[in-house]
Structures are given as C-alpha cells and as structure tokens.
Chain A
Amino acid sequence: MYAYAVRRILSTIPVMAVVALFVFSLLYVAPGDPAAIIAGDQATPADVERIRASLGLDRPFLIRFGEWLWRVLHGDLGQSIFTNLPVTHMIAQRIEPTLSLMSLTMIISIGCAVPMGVLAAYKHGTWIDRVVMIMAVAGFSVPVFVVGYVLAYTFALELDVLPVQGYTPIANGVGPWLANLALPAVTLGSAFTALIARITRATMLEVLSQDYVRTARSKGVDQRDILFVHALKNAAVPIVTIIGLGVAGLIGGSVVTESVFAIPGVGRLVVDAILRRDYPVIQGVILMFSFIYVLVNLTVDLLYTVFDPRIRY
C-alpha cells in the first residue's frame, strides 16, 4: 500500500504540470488587464501601457510561462501584482479560515447526514423517511447564499446569538472561533449534508436487503449493531467516494460562503484576484487547490482499504 501511495503522489507531477499549463494559458487569453486596474479609472491609455510594460505583461507567452514554471519548481509562486506580497504568504494568511470552515462543515455535515441517511433507510417508507428526503431536496435546491443570508438574518440580526460576519482565529479562543464559523458551516454544509444523506440512504437500503443482514437479524443481533456495525461499514465505500467528490464542491462553495460572511479565506482571495486579474495569485491558488484535491482523492482511495478489507493495492 505504501508503494501505491508513493506511486499516486508521484503521478501528481504530470497532473500538476497539465493544470499549470492550462491555467496559465487560460489567463493569457482571457480578457482583462491588471495594468488597467492598477492605473485606475482616471489614468490615460499611455499610463496603462507603461504600467503593463513595467509588469512585464507585454512579453511573449513562452517566456512568461517559462519564468513562472521555473519559479514554481523552486517553490516560489511569485508575487502579487498589486500588493507585492509573496503569493505563498497571501495563501498562508488565508488558509486557516478556509480549512477551519471546510473542516467544521465536514464534521457537521457528515455528523448529521450519515445518521439521517441511516435513519431514513431504517424507517424506509415512513414519515421519517419522507421528512429526511424533503430536507435533502431543500438542501440541494436552495442556493448557498440564500441559506446564508436567511441564517444571518435569523440568528445574528433577529436573535442576536451569533455574529453576522468575520473570523476569529482559533488561537484567540475556541468559543469565538466556533461562533464565527457556526452559521457559515451550516450554510456551506446544507447541500453537502443533503448529498451525503441521500447517498447514505440509498446505499443503506441496498445493504439492508442483503442476506447477511437478514441472518444477523434472525440471530438476534442488536438493531443498532446491525445498522452501524454491519450495514454501514459495507455501505461506507460509496459514501466515502461521495464525500471525497463533495470536497471539490466545498472548495467552490466556500467562495460564496466566505463572501456572504466576510471570512478572509482562500475562496475570497481567488475571487478578488480574478476580478483584479492578479495572475500570480490566481495561478498559485488554483495549483494549490488542484494539489489538495489530488490528495483528497488519494485519501479516499486509501480509506477504501479500511472499510473493505478485500480492496488491496
């Protein structure tokens, strides 16, 4: 298995190379000009041209790509065109809020969705099953920003129990950290919870109809053990797959959630960078997200061996 893990990690190199070329090329052909944004609305066309030249944006594609790739290979993601800060520094500033948000979202979502799905499968056809499915449909259907604004209005403005916006680092206290992330995590997790609940219910229904489950029941095994030890373990592989795929959705969803709740995360960083055409930041963040996603997929594949001993690499 270790050899498999090493092989998978090494295989990220060509994947990242393709991502790097694709991202750089896309930005090169996309409309927009950071020089025009730096210069500001009142600047003259000549000013914009001078700034563009000073940034080296008038150089040929291959030269610019080669220089950037060389720096990336040495761990240097470059500097922001606007702030002159290293891209790695800007990402480091923002990574804690995003990871905190995503982690808490996953804990809340998985913690709620799996039991909901198990319950719905166990109570298949009853009102409990229907309520869970209605909630799942609602979670899919309502846009993230609507959920966010409704929660902020209810819990922050009306009830005044949680803040509207902002982020408190965990070093400043777990209580304030949780308070700032509670609404964003529930917001971001609404669709994720719905997805996991539905998949859990579907796979559990399939597993609960298997012969060995009937055998376990007839042998007098406790219903809780049947559900959470025998059945859920066998239903876990698709659930883990969906959770891994859902991480990509969380990364995208974090952009909207971070904007709604003014969380200074990587999602907002990349949106701001795109609007400003801050090329080094865009390239650096996309490379980072791509690498994270590759690692998540690897983790999911390795987790299969935990849930299903038959799977060996």
Chain B
Amino acid sequence: MKRRDFLISAAAAGALAAPNLARADSSRVLRFVPQANLSSMDAVAGTQYVVRNAALLVWDMLYGVNARLEPQPQMAEGHEVDAEFRTWTFRLRPGLKFHDGEPVRSRDCIASLKRWMVRDTMGQLIAAKTDALEALDDRTFRFRLKAPFPKLLYALGKNNAPTALMMPERIARTDPFQLISEYVGSGPMKFSRSEWVPGARAVFERFADYQPRGEPAEWLAGGKRMLLDRIEWLIMDPATAGAALQNGEVDWWETPLPDLVPLLRSSRGIAVDIADPLGNIGSLRMNHLQPPFNDVRARRALLMGLSQQDYMEAVVGNNPDLWQALPSFFTPGTAIYSEDGGDILKGPRNYDAAKRLLAEAGQLGAKVTLLVATDIPITKAEGEVTQDLLTKLGFNVDYVATDWGTVGARRTKKDPPSQGGWNIFHTWHAGADCVNPAPYTALDCGGDKAWFGWPNSPKVEQCIADWYAAPDLGAEKAAIAAINRASFEVVTYAPTGFFRMYQAWRSSLSGVVKAPFPVFWGVQRS
C-alpha cells in the first residue's frame, strides 16, 4: 500500500463515515489525459481532433482504415460494387446494436451518411455524384452514383474528421451545422453523460453488447475488443499531468510537452514513445488576398528564407528523431509521397536573394500582421521563429500575441489587417490528414471557397481532381507529384517541417500502439 493511501485510510477511519460510490474494479479502469479539453462529442459538426478521438470510442463506422490506410469492413459485412464503381451495395453484420438496445438498421446508416456528406469534403463529392442512397432491407443499403467514385470505401473508413460515424437515425437527423445533444452510439464504449464534467472529466463505460469483429485490431480495422471496463478522461494542466503520471494517478498521457519528456523518461514505471508515426506538418499560412502576400513573389521570398530546422527545433527541441525537413506538402513515408517542386526549401537559406525578390515585387519593408496563438505551445514557437524570419527579410512586423479563440475568429476576416484582418497565422496539420488531398482542406486552392488564406490556383484544383480520378497507385503518385509542384508554384502555404510528438504511459499498461488517435481497444493492465 502506498504511504499516501495509508494516511488517507487512517484519516478516513477517524472521520465521519460516508458511503463510497460503487466503482469498477480498478484494474480495469484507465485514467487518460487527452490532448485538449473535450467540449463536445460531435465529430461531424466539429473537426477538433480530441472530439474525433472520443467519438471513435462511442460510435462505430461501416469501414475502418488499418495502419496502411487501407479501408477494411467494420460494421459492414462486406460490399458489392459494379465494374464502374457506380453502384455500391453494403450489408451490415448481424446483431449490431446501439447503446439503447435498438438494432442498427440501414436507415440509421443512411441518415448518418447524409449528415456526414454535408460536412466532409469527400462526402460532398460523393453527394454530388449520388443518384440515390436507399435501404434495400434493414441490413442492406445501396449507393447509386451518377459517376464513378473508386475511393468510396476510403471515404467511409478514413480516420480524418469529419468521420463517417453511424448514429441512430433520430440523432443523425440533427442539422450538420448544429451539435448533437444525444450521445447514443454504436461503438465499444458508452459515454456516461451523468458523469461528464465538461472541462474536467469524461467517462466511458464498456458496452457489453458490442460485437467486435474476429480479426486482430489494427487502428480502425479489425476487432475492437475492449479489455477495460471504464475509461476516465481527465483534463488537466501539462505540469499537473506530468506529476500525476509520475505518481501513478493517471495511466496514459496523450501529448506530453517535449520539455517534460526527459523527466518522464527518467521516471520509474513510465514508458515514452512516438505517438503517431504519421506525425504532423507545421504550417505558416499566408493571406493571399492582402499585400504583401497577395504577390506570389513575396510568398516565394518567404520560402527562400524559411529554415525548417529553426521551426522544428523550436517546436520539438533538438532531438533529431522527432523532426525532419519537408520539401513537400504531403506526409513522408507513404507510397505516394513526392518532393517535386520543393527545391526552394532545400539547401542553405538565401536572404539576399529573397530581399531582391521582395524589392522586385515592391514589398520590401512592407508591414506584416502576424497572429500568434500564444496559449498553444506549437503555434507560439512557430510564431516566434516567423517573427525573426520576417525581421531578417526586412518586413515591418506587427506581432499580435493572442489566444487561439481570437486567431480562429480573426482568420475568417478577408479585410485588410488595419481593419481587423491578418497576413500570417500558424497552425499544424496531422500527418494523417496530409497523406492525400481527400481530407486536406488546407491544400485546396479554390480562391474564395478555399481554406483560410484563400489561395487561388486552377492548376492545383485540376491536379486534385486528377488524383480523385486516378485508377491506380501509379496514377495517384503522378497526381500527387503534380499537386506538389503546382502548390509550390502558387505557395499555397509554407510548410515549416514535419514533426512527431511523444505519448507517455505507465509501464503497467500493455497494448498501447502508435496511431493518429489513441487506440483503446487492446489496452489492458499487465
């Protein structure tokens, strides 16, 4: 017995007697510190990663990707598709139930898919091609498309938010731009609404009637066998989380601060390893509508001076295992990765050439409004390096230190910076979202309809369309290379590097795997 527990018990024995709440056996309870506060559970209306991670526990999917991002049947027993990839028929596995005991039916899946298709990029493409989405019986439904869409299974099984989660029809009928208010799911864990203290604690209880598949689990594919009865998500300050992990008060910390990792590594009983092999891509996002970066020469000048080493060492420290230079917009290490067009980010930085280009564009000494969310360590680090870079390039920097909520609101404005707009803000993209163009909203160059910054390049848009239509891996690789080249030509945004983060857990846990999201199935106490 630990000293703390003995003292507490002794004090309790002499204190006023009070009943204890019934709790699951502690050996089957996991205490987890997530990356951020869980403020809602709707992974369709919102794209926050923490919401997606929680939702994957509560709701299941028709298909789920494995570690090679190959979609595998999950709730679906399988599918039939015609030679033209236009008619897709899906059949649900028997015995699937929602947490309220109701069976999962085709109409629930259809309603869920319709809601998801409004918000998801691939879903929108599918919806535009859909002639009919109809139930054939309670376990069978069919997509009839006007045009081929070979990547339908990938769309249904991808882990990127918005995820195609299967909800009861009544919940799925919620406006896709409003948050759902009921959390009855189809997944391996039930959300314990009565114990939810938003901002402090979220509790998930094992769903006894969940029917896992027979195959071994691998990310979102295979059998999601829960070896835990209860998972408690505890939201806390990073320093407190580090102390709590050392003290055994929590079991698993999703994203420890890089500064605390050496301390955790040296602590007994704690394991530390890379969290997500697909990592993250840092982003310096420029406003293409306002000077100076409405001129491609100014954007290219920035790339000529940008040192990804500076950015990455600011974000993750000087551990070379955690970062690499990235002359690309895509996640390295995949079969379709390309560095075509990325030479501008290679080699020694050339500030003189960059300044000459800026002078040619008439932007030397221009004022730049730099929005920096100082409440998020990654964006704060990136912002400070950018301030230095802009100063070296001779810009007049207006460094706006603020919080992410303000950045999120201000970046929507297309006005000049002097009227509440902006020139640069920072963020980062999960590597899983940057493997290909499908979930990669930041890569779109549709002008007014594009993501914040509003880059405009019909060439990039055509290359993305070519990827969607690519019939095989070779064609996909060629399309990705073309997208990369075109994106560097227009400088959609400036990739600041590729980096990975750690996760840390008590050595008494087994089954913790590396993935773009925390995988709870298969985790247990040794």
Contacts and interface: CB of A to CB of B under 8 A. Distances in A.
A47 B18 contact: no
Contacts of A264: 197, 199-201
A173 B244 contact: no
Contact of B198 (A44, A82, A162, A170): A82
A42 B433 contact: yes
Given A174-B15, A260-B237, A83 B2 contact: no
B3 A161 contact: yes
Nearest to B48: A40
A222 to B, nearest CB: 33
Given A44-B449, A161-B7, A176 B12 contact: yes
A74 B490 CA distance: 56
A33 B412 contact: yes
Interface stretch (B136-144, B174-182, B313-321): B174-182
Contacts of B192: none
A114 B52 CA distance: 52
B240 A164 contact: yes
B408 A262 contact: no
Most buried by B among A39, A259, A277, A278: A39
9 contacts: A31-B409, A33-B412, A94-B197, A157-B243, A164-B240, A172-B21, A264-B200, A272-B39, A275-B405
Interface string A67-106: 0000000000000101111000010011000000000000
Most buried by A among B13, B175, B201, B237: B237
A259 B450 CA distance: 38
A178 B450 CA distance: 54
Given A31-B402, A48-B412, A38 B243 contact: no
Contact of B244 (A43, A46, A48, A165): A165
B40 interface: yes
A281 B450 CA distance: 33
Contacts of B179: 38, 82, 84
B19 interface: yes
A60 interface: no
A22 interface: no
Given A33-B408, A42-B161, A165-B240, A51 B45 contact: yes
Contacts of A39: 45-47
B441 interface: yes
Interface stretch (A116-124, A148-156, A187-195, A245-253): A148-156
B323 interface: no
A262 B406 contact: no
Nearest to B14: A175
A228 B46 CA distance: 61
B462 interface: no
Given A31-B402, A164-B244, A275-B405, A172 B198 contact: no
A143 interface: no
Given A33-B412, A39-B47, A264-B201, A277 B405 contact: yes
A34 B404 CA distance: 11
A40 B13 contact: no
Interface string B194-234: 00111111000000000000000000000000000000001
Nearest to B239: A149
A269 B199 contact: yes
Contact of A93 (B14, B197, B249, B405): B197
A198 to B, nearest CB: 30
A207 B241 CA distance: 49
Contact of A165 (B13, B14, B236, B451): B236
Interface residues of A, number: 65
A36 B12 contact: no
Contacts of B51: 40
A166 B244 CA distance: 10
A41 B47 contact: yes
Given A43-B47, A172-B20, A85 B198 contact: yes
B40 A82 contact: yes
Most buried by A among B13, B18, B235, B441: B18
A260 B15 contact: no
A95 B325 CA distance: 49
Interface in A34-63: 34, 36-51, 53-55
A179 interface: yes
A262 B244 CA distance: 10
A42 B439 contact: yes
Contact of A32 (B7, B19, B408, B439): B408
Nearest to B200: A264
Contact of A276 (B17, B39, B244, B450): B39
A160 interface: yes
A171 B12 CA distance: 12
Contact of B409 (A36, A85, A161, A261): A36
B8 interface: yes
B18 A171 contact: yes
The 8 A-B residue pairs whose C-beta atoms are closest, nearest first, are: A175-B12, A40-B47, A264-B200, A33-B409, A36-B408, A175-B11, A174-B15, A262-B236
Interface in B1-57: 2-4, 7-21, 37, 39-40, 45-48, 51
B146 interface: no
Given A40-B161, A163-B249, A176-B8, 12 more contacts: A32-B403, A32-B405, A36-B405, A36-B409, A43-B47, A54-B177, A157-B243, A173-B17, A175-B13, A175-B15, A275-B403, A278-B39
Most buried by A among B45, B160, B177: B177
Contacts of B477: none
Interface in B271-288: none
Most buried by B among A152, A165, A269: A165
A165 B243 contact: yes
B134 interface: no
